[in-house]
Amino acid sequence: MLKANALGVAGIVFLVLAAVAPLTGIVVVASIAIALGNGGGTPASFFIVAIVLLLFSVGYAQMSKQLVNAGGFYAFVVKGLGRTGGLVAGFIATIGYNFFVVGTIGTSGFFMQTVIADLTGFNLHWYIWGLASIIVAFILARQGIGFSAKVLGVSLVLETLILVVFDFSVLFQTGFSFESFSPSAIFSGSLGIGLLLAATGFLGFEATSLFSEEAKNPLRTIPRATYTAICLIGAILGFTTWAVVSATSVEQAQAVALKHLPNGDLIFSLSQKYLGTVMTDIMMILLLVSLFAAMLAFHNSATRYLYSLGRAHVLPHALARTRKNGTPQLAGIVQALFAAIVAGLFAWAQLDPIGSLVPSMIGFGTLCVLVLQMLAALAIVVHFRRAHDPRWWSTFVAPGVGFLALASIVTMAIANFSIVAGSDALVVNLLPLLLLVALIGGIIFGIYLSKKKPQIYAGLSDDLENFNKTMVDPQHISESDIAGGL
């Protein structure tokens, strides 16, 4: 079993925000959103997406109070859309999060090679740096989820501090102009692409429920951690993007971002201007820390999906083995090996990590998580309507609006996948077909289990109920726990 009572609200928020990696989000996601989205109005895009996700999270929090399970969206969809729907979600989640880890090997390896060579002259191939990173992440993850939270917490504080210093340095010198929040700025360029790219900056917040079995008082902890994570992500990304467009001027923001897009150095060039060489060098070093923190957090998430599906006998049950300290054993090994091997294939083929590996792996991982959020929102609505829950706002209206908004974002993501993935290569643009494979595979496998292995099929939902009873004793649930959340 996973170690219970290992994480509080702060620990889970640290794990989630580290996966989001604010500094990485600004250097990569925000820069692309300004260049290809709605330019000077991009700060508003981040705040709009935050509002949409908060609506979704109202229902998400209510469902979290009924499900204390390490399966995340897999568990949510089983509860709302049935066992077969849960299989589909589980397959999509497992593929998506594992692709994310492969992508983080590329980003970590590339920037470690670039930054370390620039600062010291010592140059190693990107794959060696990336491989070293995933090995260290694997070792740290085996020390326990509480230890990971402490490491990620330090990283989060450092990268947030450098962003705050940058933000106020720029805004004090430029005058705190609110022009970027005007209708003309918000609707400039492509608002749809701006919202889509802004949504990628929030990926990872949904991991709060993955740690519910390891949380202290999960009925309270998970909802609070979810709301806190979304608000902090929106504030950090929105506020810093506001500083960036203020530094470039709202009217010129898109043109300037496009100019720096090929080298990905928009933020560093502005930091050089407003903070100087020393602080810019520190920012570059913290970017490496941020990238590693994201790798560790996504490794933890991917491992827990493998663990959960193994425990349900959907994947080999050996994946459900845990160490004495409660961390997944074989699931962590399999995840790290998969990521290292796939990234190694890119290196062996001499493909550029930033031009090929990162956009294809993280781009598809992004789409997978967006689809999972959409399915989870639908599952929440269906579950509570089936139960005739009287709380219309928190179990129908808010998650329903969230579902419609997420469905729109998913549609835009598929239609503009070349932008999400950062590549127009045919093989990259065919990756969304893996979602269809997961859908068909989940349905076929569900039929097979129901006919040939009915006990395992029934266990897809029994596992959730049994673990809820184990982890949360109804006799110790107070009225405030049930009412907790908003």
Contacts of 281 by beta carbon, 8 Å cutoff, 6+ apart: 119
User: Is 484's pLDDT higher than 50?
Assistant: no
pLDDT digits (tens, 9 = 90+) for 205-264: 876 766 666 667 777 787 888 888 899 999 999 999 999 999 999 999 999 998 888 777
Top-ranked range on mean pLDDT: pick from 121-130, 220-229, 408-417: 121-130
How many whole angstroms separate alpha carbon 254 and alpha carbon 186?
Answer: 12
**197: nearest Cα among 412, 430, 426:** 412
- Residue 74 is encoded by which pair of tokens? 């897999």
**482: nearest Cα among 66, 128, 182:** 66
Confidence of residue 365 (pLDDT cuts 50, 70, 90): confident
pTM of the model as a whole: 0.81
pLDDT digits (tens, 9 = 90+) for 342-364: 999 999 989 888 777 887 888 88
Question: What domains are defined for the chain?
Answer: 9-471 (1.20.1740.10)
How many whole angstroms separate alpha carbon 275 and alpha carbon 423?
Answer: 33
**23: nearest Cα among 233, 209, 256, 181:** 233
Residue 243: C-alpha distances to residues 171, 197, 333 (Å): 6, 18, 41
- pLDDT given at position 147: 65
Contacts of 449 by beta carbon, 8 Å cutoff, 6+ apart: 456, 457, 460
Contacts of 305 by beta carbon, 8 Å cutoff, 6+ apart: 71, 72, 74, 90, 93, 94, 97, 210
How many whole angstroms separate alpha carbon 385 and alpha carbon 138?
Answer: 41
How many whole angstroms separate alpha carbon 244 and alpha carbon 201?
Answer: 16
- pLDDT given at position 422: 67
How many whole angstroms separate alpha carbon 259 and alpha carbon 8?
Answer: 44
User: Percent of the chain beyond pLDDT 70?
Assistant: 87
User: Is 19's pLDDT higher than 70?
Assistant: no
DSSP state of 349: T
- pLDDT given at position 253: 93
Greatest distance between any 2 Cα atoms in the chain: 69
